[in-house]
Structure 1
C-alpha cells in the first residue's frame, strides 16, 4: 500500500487526511517527503546511522535507501527526507570541513514562494492576481487622468 508521500512517474503524490470544504486551488503544502542524493560522499560515511544523521541536517530522515546502505549502487547516497517547504532547501553540508552537495529528486513544479504544487513563478495564480490588480489600477489611473484633462 502507499505511504504518506509516494513517487508516481517521477512526481510526488501527497496523501493527506480529508478536511471539510477542501479547495485544491487554495491548498498549501508546507511539508513533503522527498528523495535526496548525497553526491560525492566518502565511502566511510555509507553507514545507515551516519546517513540518517546527515539527512537530519537537511530535514527529518524518513528512510535510507537500503541499496546505498549496502553499497550496491555507489556514486551517491539516497535518503527520503521530510522537508519543510517554508524553509530554504539545504544545497550542501560539510563533514570535517569537506563540503558535499545535496540533489533533490523530482521536485517538479513546486513554487516555494506560495508553497503550492503545479506551477512555477511565471504561472503562479498569486502573481497573476497581482499583475491583474496592477493593470486595473493603471487603466483606472489613465481613465481618471484622461477625464481630468477633458475638464
Structure 2
C-alpha cells in the first residue's frame, strides 16, 4: 500500500493497455469487528474470511489474540464479483470492513464506483452465512 491505497503490479504482457485490460483481483486486508470470543480463533477467522475471498494470512495481533477489537486478515478478492459486506454466524449478522478499497459500492457490492454513483437497484451489500462448525458457536 502507498498511503491508504493498494498498488497492483501485474506481469508485463505484449499489447497490455490499462484502458482495456482491467485488474480483476487484488489482495486486501479485511477487518472483522466485534467477533464473539469463541470466533476469535485463527481457524474460525480464516473460515469466515474465506467467504469474502481466498485467505492469505492473518495479521500478527489476530494470530496471537493480542487485539480483541477486531480480527484482521489478508484475502485475495475477485473484483468482478460483488464484495461481501456482512456475514452471519449462529443467526447474528456481523460487518466486514475493507481497508484501502475506496471505490466499493455496498449498494450493488461491486468495486469501481461509490454508492452515490450506483446505477443498480439492488439493496445493500451481500451477506453470507460463515458456516462455522459447532465448536465456535
TM-score (norm 1): 0.66
More helix by share: 1
Q: Is the radius of gyration larger for structure 1 or structure 2?
A: 1
Question: Cα distance, 1:26 vs. partner?
Answer: 2.3
CA deviation digits over 1:72-121, x for unaligned, max 9? Answer: 122111111111111111111111111111011101246899966xx769
Q: 1:98 aligns with which of 81, 92, 96?
A: 92
Correspondence for 1:63: 57
Q: CA RMSD in A?
A: 2.6
What does 1:1-40 correspond to in 2, within 5 Å? 7-40=1-34
CA distance in 2, matches of 1:114, 1:102: 14
Tell whether the 8 Å contact from 2:28 to 2:74 is kept in structure 1 after alignment. Answer: yes
Correspondence for 1:82: 76
What does 1:108-147 correspond to in 2, within 5 Å? 108-109=102-103
Tell whether the 8 Å contact from 1:28 to 1:115 is kept in structure 2 after alignment. Answer: no
- SS of 1:78's equivalent? strand
- Unmatched runs of 5 consecutive residues or more in structure 2: 118-137
Which structure carries more relative contact order (alpha carbon 8 Å, separation 6+)? 2
TM-score (norm 2): 0.72
